[in-house]
Amino acid sequence: MYAAKEPRSVRLGFGSTEFDVEGRYVEAEFRDVTVISVYFPSGSSGPERQAAKFRFLAEFAPHLARLRASGREIVFCGDINIAHKEIDLKNWRGNRKNSGSCRKSARG
């Protein structure tokens, strides 16, 4: 994360034993806003990584809820690796069979 002003504090990781070691989360607290950058796991390499992605989502959701409840302004940035619709992917036809991508039945 690059910032023109130095943040009050920087946090690496969100408290996950499994995922913090992968360097997926950076949080920078500034006077008026907290900025987070998150790199969500991709599930496209197979069922094991898709299961890891689901575990990540289950651990991250409560953390995100706590951030929202803090009352601070939050800027959420990152690579989320989730596509809900064909328009979300450059090559949607080629990705129909990949986990985490939209399916033919998800059109619309």
State the maximum Cα–Cα separation within the chain, in Å, rounded to a whole number.
47
- pLDDT bracket for residue 84 (50, 70, 90): low
Q: 18 and 55 in contact (C-beta within 8 Å)?
A: yes
For residue 31, what are its two tokens? 């006077």
Residues serving a catalytic function are 79
What are 17-59's pLDDT values in tens digits? 999 999 999 999 999 999 999 999 987 777 888 899 999 999 9
Q: 38 and 25 in contact (C-beta within 8 Å)?
A: yes
Distance CA 103, CA 26 (A): 31
Residue 99 pLDDT: 58
The β-bridge partners of 93 are: none
- Looking only at the bridges linking them, the beta strands covering 33-39 and 9-12 are unpaired
Residue 12 pLDDT: 97
Q: How far is CA 36 from the centre of its chain?
A: 10
Read off the pLDDT of each residue in 84-88 and give the average, rounded to a whole number. Answer: 70
pLDDT at 103 over 50: no
Is this structure's pTM higher than 0.85?
no
Distance CA 69, CA 41 (A): 25
